[in-house]
Each structure stands twice: as structure tokens, then as C-alpha cells.
């Protein structure tokens, strides 16, 4: 043993002891936790939302009303206005909530609702709330607001250390996303709460899709929220976060209110002020698509590795969708079919079912490690007959119409984040589920299955009319090698490797693809 090794041993030992003490911290016992459930529909029928929705519900029976929210600023405004329109309750569940412009404005919307007497229940996955401990602790002080953290880390700083001592638990996350007002109207879909999901901020701007729902499906969603709220993984914030008082809450809200006057919040504030969403909703003038809608959702016990395999959302989806007979159009930002998925697509293609997939290109993907898990399946998928498209990263100044119907694309530097697929041109899925091992086996997920040809046709339009201008078509050349076809008007460019990705990035993806980590992606 060298002298240097002898000198360094005590330091290493001390560091190891500190790390063990940090990761060894146990979660606090939940000896006391308030019990609450979603308000019965009968109890909220006399709210503004209840009264506005009642005539349409009476006309459409067991069907639910669906409105797509593809435009990011519409999606932001709809959440704020639902919070403003709530009279009785708000049940809010998210994987990521950032303390940025949109996140702070939405926290203020929840606070204003609570000030009017609305009961607010906020359930957040603890992995996606970096920098939010003090704001959430302050918000939790309000008598009408209760915050719970799902599958929390026992240490609040350097959370990653928790993985060293409890990886099997902490590797499971709550990926569900929902926003429900008065058990009468709800928003679900792919968006988290952060600037990049609402068309602002820097870096990737996530082209995404949410839906607003009214009708029977909302009560089903509220019941699902209740089982997550009461699950063994949902910890009251007060057990984990620093102690705050009314003074800190007032300071927090004054800061959020001042933010509304700032330049960085201008477009958000304008989107709310200009929106006719709530006025139209309360007047019964919104054009909903009425259809049978069913919910698929993982048991929250999945986060503890305790759910029944038959109850996994992936199997619920398979049972609900049955056997496709003509087409499957799939949009997934993180697409890793795995061997079972590859076998499924091969079987579908062998039966004459057309399978088309849109995912992120390497240049647009915000998680290169996940792209490595996908890249090795491109050739087998194409050989099976699957049509494969990869969204391009759009340059500043390129004009792309907003909305799912016109390309599922946001503004500059867009990255696909929507999770949706259509089966046989008559059934549409929208939710949080990515077609990858993490969504299948590790994270909890949520989504709606909508039986409507008009909505399913949006994806058909996307693939048939819009992808040429915003996505590469991936094909095999005569030698069986991958090619990426880029179309810019009448110009056609063929690339022999991942376009707009340097040799180093491509090399890293190749190295990552050799690692035995697919089950974690």
C-alpha cells in the first residue's frame, strides 16, 4: 500500500460514513394523516361548473365530453381558469412541478382558490419538485390547502444519495398528471407544470397534448386520485418539509403576485386574459366531442413493487384495445419497444395491420440515454414493416402551425413529449404513458381511452399530411442500412446517420446502447 493511499484512507472512510448516515435516514412514520375523499358529484352540482355542464350531461347520457388542448398557452390558461372557476375543490396531481414562471403562477392560482374557500389537495412526486420544498411548505400552511409528496426521499438536499440506500423503492415514480375542479371538469395528458411544457422558457419546448374532460369520466378520475391520495406512498408534506408559518406564506404569494407584472410572465398573463375558455365553458358554448371514455391507471402500489401484474396499466390498455385489425398510429417521445413490443409489431404487420410510429430524433431528444435504448430497435422495426418517423428539432424562425391537427409541434427547439396513439382509426389514447420499459414496469401512469373516429382521425392526418415538413422518415436503403429522409418543400435530403447530431453524441449513444440498462430506461 502506497503512502498516498494510507494518507487518503481516513478521508474516504469519513466520506463513506457520512454517505451511509445520509442514505440510512428512514422516512417518518405516518401515524396521523387526515382522511379526505373527492366531493360527490351531487355535492358540486350547484357550483358554477356543475350548473354550466348539467344541460350537456343530460343530453349525452353516459358519454363524456372531450376537448383537446394542443396549444401550450391554451393548456396553461385552461388550468388557471379552472382554478379560478372552482367553487368547492381542486385535486391536482403531477410528476414535475418547477418553481419557474408557470409553476409560480399556477401555485398562486391554487392559493387564490383556497382563499375563496376551495379545498385544494396537491399531490406531487417527490423526484420532480427540485427547489420547491420551502414554497410547498409555506403553501401547506393554508387551512384549505394540503400538500402530499409521493414516494418521498428522506433527505431533502442531495436527494440522489437516497438512491444509494433505497434504489428499488426510489426508482419507481408517480408519472400521473391530472387537474380536477369540483369533480366536474378535469385536464389530463402529457404536460407537467414547467415553462418548457407551456411554450416558454429555454431549451426544449415540448410539443404536447392534454385533454379537457367533463362527464362521467371525471368522477372515475376523482376516485383514482383518492386512492393515490390515501396510498402508503403519499406522505403529508409537514412530515418532510421545513416548518413554515403564515408570514412565509404571505411573502411567497406576494412574490407570485409581483411576478404577474413582470416581462417574463407577460405571455402567460396575456394567454389567460385573452382566453374565452371559461366564459364559453360556463355558457355551454365549448364544442366538446362526446364519446365513450374509459380510464386506465396503475395501482399506486406499483411504486412499492407490490401491484398485481394483471393490474398494470399496460395490460389494461391491451385488454381495452383488443386486437387491432387495420392500423396503429403511435406517438411517443421515449419509444423503447423492447423484445415484447417488437414481437407485437411484427405480429401486427404480419396480419396486415399498418403500424406507424413518431418519436424524437436524436437531435430533438432531451434524454440521449433513452435514445440509445430506442436506436437498436430501428432496423428490426423497419424490417418488420413498421413505418418510422423521427421529429426534427425545428430551427428558430420556422413556421409550424400549432395544434395536434397541424403537426404536434411547438415553436423553435421543439421536442416531442405527447403520448398518444390511435387504433383502427376509431379509438384514441391520451395520457402519461410512454411506450418504454419505465412506463410499463416502474412508474405509475394514467390515461383515457376515447372511442371516437373524429379524434382518432387527428393522428391519421398528422401521419398522412403533416409529418413530411417536421419529421425525418427513417428507411432502409438497398444495402439494409439506415437512412433519414428530410423533406423541405421540393428538396429531398438523405442522411446516412442521425441528422444534426455530432460524432461524439452519436458515439455516446452507441456506447450507451451496449449497456444492460434497458429495463431502467
- Asked about 182 being catalytic, the answer comes back as yes
Please tell me which residue in 91, 393, 417, 436 is annotated as part of the active site.
Answer: 417
pLDDT at 5 over 50: no
User: How many whole angstroms separate alpha carbon 318 and alpha carbon 322?
Assistant: 6
7 falls within a domain? no
38 and 130, same domain (yes or no): yes
pLDDT on residue 327: 96
- Structural domain boundaries, residue 425: 294-520
Q: Are residues 331 and 254 in the same domain?
A: no
| H or E segment to which residue 230 belongs | none
Same domain (yes/no): 259, 299: no
CA atoms within 13 A on the CB side of 493: 12
Clarify whether 379 is annotated catalytic. Answer: no
Q: What is the pLDDT of residues 391-407, one digit of tens each?
A: 998 654 333 323 333 33
Last residue of a domain, one of 258, 282, 306: 282
Domain boundary among 236, 260, 282: 282
Same domain, 367 and 277: no
Residue 289 placed within a domain: no
- Residue 143 C-beta-side C-alpha neighbours within 13 Å: 3
d(CA 502, CA 509): 11
Count Cβ atoms below 10 Å from residue 475 Cβ, excluding itself: 14
Asked whether residue 374 falls in the same domain as residue 425, the answer is: yes
CATH number for the domain that contains residue 305 = 3.30.870.10
11 occurs within a structural domain:
no
Catalytic status, residue 417:
yes
How far apart CA 384 and CA 406 sit, in angstroms, is 29
Cell of 495: 442522411
Whether the per-residue pLDDT at 4 is higher than 80: the answer is no
The residue from 366, 424, 426, 452 that is catalytic is 424
Band of pLDDT at residue 165, cut at 50, 70 and 90:
confident
Q: Is residue 152 part of a domain?
A: yes
Whether 201 has a pLDDT exceeding 80, the answer reads no
211 belongs to a structural domain: yes
Count up the domains in the chain and report the number.
2
pLDDT digits (tens, 9 = 90+) for 291-326: 999 999 999 999 998 887 788 898 998 888 889 999
Q: Is residue 259 part of a domain?
A: yes
Residue with cell 390511435: 422
Domain membership of residue 93 (yes or no) is yes
Averaged confidence pLDDT in the chain = 88
Query: Of the ranges 300-314, 374-388, 456-470, which is most confident?
Result: 374-388
Residue 462: inside a domain, yes or no?
yes
**Which residue among 125, 182, 208, 299 is the active-site one?**
182
Per the listing, cell 478521508 goes with 11
**Catalytic residue among 172, 302, 371, 419, which?**
419
Q: Is 283 part of the annotated catalytic residue set?
A: no
pLDDT value for 366: 74
Q: Are residues 215 and 301 in the same domain?
A: no
Q: What is the reported pLDDT for 504?
A: 84
Query: What was the pLDDT predicted at 202?
Result: 54
User: Mean per-residue pLDDT for 313-340?
Assistant: 92
Residue 203: per-residue pLDDT:
56
Among the listed residues 71, 172, 177, 436, the single catalytic one is 177
Query: Catalytic annotation on 87?
Result: no
Whether 289 shows a pLDDT value over 90: the answer reads yes
Known active-site residue 424: yes
Q: What is the pTM of this model?
A: 0.91
State the Cα–Cα distance between residues 237 and 503, nearest whole angstrom: 46
Cα dist. 520→128, 336, 419 in Å?
Answer: 17, 11, 19
- Neighbouring-strand partners of residue 93: 123, 178
Do residues 222 and 353 share a domain? no
Amino acid at each position: 500500500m502506497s503512502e498516498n493511499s494510507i494518507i487518503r484512507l481516513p478521508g474516504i472512510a469519513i466520506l463513506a460514513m457520512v454517505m451511509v448516515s445520509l442514505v440510512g435516514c428512514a422516512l417518518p412514520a405516518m401515524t396521523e394523516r387526515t382522511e379526505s375523499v373527492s366531493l360527490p358529484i351531487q355535492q358540486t352540482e350547484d357550483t358554477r361548473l356543475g350548473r354550466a355542464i348539467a344541460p350537456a350531461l343530460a343530453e349525452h347520457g353516459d358519454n363524456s365530453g372531450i376537448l383537446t388542448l394542443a396549444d401550450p398557452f391554451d393548456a396553461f390558461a385552461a388550468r388557471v381558469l379552472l382554478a379560478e372557476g372552482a367553487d368547492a375543490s381542486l385535486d391536482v396531481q403531477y410528476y414535475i412541478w418547477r418553481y419557474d414562471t408557470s409553476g409560480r403562477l399556477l401555485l398562486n392560482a391554487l392559493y387564490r382558490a383556497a382563499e375563496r374557500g376551495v379545498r385544494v389537495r396537491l399531490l406531487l412526486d417527490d423526484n420532480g419538485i427540485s427547489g420547491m420544498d420551502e414554497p410547498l411548505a409555506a403553501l401547506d400552511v393554508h387551512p384549505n390547502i394540503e400538500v402530499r409528496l409521493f414516494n418521498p426521499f428522506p433527505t431533502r438536499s442531495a436527494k440522489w444519495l437516497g438512491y444509494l440506500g433505497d434504489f428499488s423503492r426510489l426508482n419507481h415514480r408517480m408519472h400521473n398528471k391530472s387537474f380536477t375542479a369540483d369533480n366536474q371538469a378535469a385536464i389530463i395528458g402529457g404536460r407537467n407544470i414547467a415553462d418548457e411544457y407551456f411554450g416558454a422558457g429555454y431549451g426544449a419546448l415540448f410539443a404536447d397534448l392534454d385533454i379537457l374532460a367533463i362527464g362521467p369520466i371525471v368522477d372515475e378520475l376523482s376516485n383514482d386520485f383518492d386512492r393515490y391520495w390515501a396510498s402508503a406512498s403519499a406522505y403529508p408534506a409537514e412530515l418532510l418539509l421545513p416548518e413554515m408559518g403564515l408570514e412565509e406564506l404571505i411573502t411567497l404569494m406576494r412574490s407570485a403576485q409581483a411576478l404577474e407584472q413582470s416581462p417574463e410572465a407577460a405571455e402567460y398573463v396575456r394567454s389567460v386574459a385573452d382566453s374565452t375558455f371559461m366564459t364559453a365553458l360556463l355558457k355551454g358554448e365549448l364544442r366538446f366531442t362526446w364519446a365513450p371514455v374509459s380510464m386506465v391507471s396503475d395501482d399506486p402500489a406499483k411504486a412499492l413493487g407490490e401491484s398485481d401484474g394483471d393490474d398494470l396499466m399496460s395490460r389494461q390498455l391491451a385488454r381495452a384495445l383488443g386486437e387491432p385489425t387495420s392500423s396503429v398510429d403511435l406517438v411517443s417521445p421515449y419509444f423503447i419497444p423492447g423484445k415484447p413490443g417488437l414481437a407485437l409489431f411484427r405480429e401486427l404487420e404480419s396480419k396486415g395491420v399498418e403500424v406507424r410510429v413518431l418519436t424524437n430524433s436524436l437531435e430533438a431528444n432531451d434524454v440521449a440515454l433513452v435514445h440509445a435504448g430506442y436506436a437498436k430497435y430501428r432496423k428490426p422495426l423497419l424490417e418488420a414493416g413498421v413505418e418510422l418517423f423521427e421529429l426534427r428539432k425545428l430551427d428558430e424562425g420556422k413556421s409550424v402551425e400549432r395544434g395536434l391537427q397541424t403537426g404536434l409541434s411547438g415553436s423553435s427547439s421543439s421536442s416531442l413529449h405527447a403520448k398518444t396513439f390511435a387504433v383502427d382509426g376509431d379509438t384514441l389514447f391520451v395520457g402519461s404513458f410512454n411506450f418504454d420499459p419505465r412506463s410499463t414496469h416502474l412508474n405509475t401512469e394514467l390515461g383515457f381511452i376515447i372511442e371516437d373516429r373524429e379524434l382518432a382521425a387527428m393522428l391519421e392526418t398528422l401521419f398522412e399530411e403533416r409529418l413530411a415538413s417536421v419529421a425525418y422518415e427513417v428507411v432502409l436503403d438497398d444495402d439494409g442500412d439506415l437512412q433519414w429522409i428530410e423533406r423541405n418543400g421540393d428538396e429531398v435530403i438523405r442522411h446516412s446517420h442521425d441528422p444534426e447530431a455530432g460524432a461524439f453524441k452519436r458515439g455516446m449513444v452507441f456506447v450507451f446502447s451496449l449497456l444492460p440498462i434497458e429495463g431502467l430506461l
